[in-house]
Amino acid sequence: MFSEKSKSGTVITGLICLCLVYAGLFHLARYMGWLAQNPGLPGTIARTVYGPDVRPEMARLKHVREISPEIPPITVLCYHEVTPERGDDCMNVKPEIFRRHIREFKKAGFTFIHVGDLQKFAAGSKTLPEKAVLLSFDDGYADNYKYAFPILREEKVPGTFFVVSSTVGNNNRMTAGQLREMLANGMKIGSHTVNHERLTDMNAQEIDFELKASKEALEKILGESVCALAYPTGKVNETVLDKAKTYYDMAFVASVMPDTKQTLYTLQRYGVFKWNEHIESIFRNR
């Protein structure tokens, strides 16, 4: 016969064993990447306990570097909106999170560069720091000036803003005066074409117009040369690449494509959205 004491001892030991087994399975599931993808409660607990699973992103970025050794090992991020007012918008990153990204990159020993540094690198007149990160912003949203720009100034970090030339001054977009003010304070402005339409759907003449006229319009506003382009939607073909080479020193796509070689005209960018705003942890230990 078991005494009451040994019975309760067995129950406690059993519970502890059960907890250990469950924790082990939880850890295994986390390790295999299952829970990190789970949008429900177990996934939320896993992400809280272990942090976001950044291994797939790290592997993708590493592969891009390995197959494109001639391109400097820079990390380019692509933001869209930065505002506290559109918390649920997937294209938006809240200002305090954006500031956290900058601080995490600083902590990890990164140097912030802009397209002017890349232009000098391409011309052979400048080397780039070993760990370089370039912050870029697409579409020219007014909140970039209102929220991102003050943070960049405070943190003493440059940003590169790709602007759609026909929308300058429109509702919700930056004005010519704001672009000039940012330029005067260490920021860089690039072209995101005239109309923000998919270039791969156009003929050579239309592509020429989008790339040339946007460059000229922005140069008129800024009073200096515009050397960089970001393709709307990131899509390119041979004609688009030829035209980009005619008018610009470099051009950016909108995603990281691990199996595609990078060139100065297909510089890959890591899109930062609400759903992957943990971006800084990818680079923390690199």
53 near Zn ion, rule: CB under 5 A = no
- For Cα atoms 38, 43, 46, give the angle at the middle one, nearest 5 degrees: 145
Select the residue interacting with Zn ion from 53, 139, 210, 249 (CB under 5 A).
139
Answer for the pair 148, 261: CB distance below 8 angstroms, yes or no.
no
The helix/strand/coil state of 271 is: strand
Select the residue interacting with Zn ion from 138, 143, 249, 280 (CB under 5 A).
138
Min dist. Cβ of residue 273 to Zn ion (A): 13
Stretch that binds Zn ion, among 104-112, 137-145, 209-217, 272-280 (CB under 5 A): 137-145
User: Nearer to Zn ion by C-beta: 138 or 210?
Assistant: 138
CA distances from 66 to 36, 69, 74, 135, 221 (A): 26, 6, 12, 22, 39
210 near Zn ion, rule: CB under 5 A = no
Restricted to residues 218-237, the positions that interact with Zn ion (CB under 5 A) are 232
Min dist. Cβ of residue 196 to Zn ion (A): 6
| CB-closest chain residue to Zn ion | 138
Min dist. Cβ of residue 20 to Zn ion (A): 50
Which ranges in 32-126 belong to alpha helices (H)? 34-37, 41-50, 55-67, 95-107, 115-123
C-alpha–C-alpha distance, residues 101 and 278, integer Å = 8
81 near Zn ion, rule: CB under 5 A = no
Q: Which residues contact 3 (CB under 8 A, 6 or more apart)?
A: none
Stretch that binds Zn ion, among 2-10, 18-26, 61-69, 138-146 (CB under 5 A): 138-146
**What is the end-to-end Cα distance of the chain in Å, rounded?**
60
Q: Which residues bind Zn ion (CB under 5 A)?
A: 138-139, 232
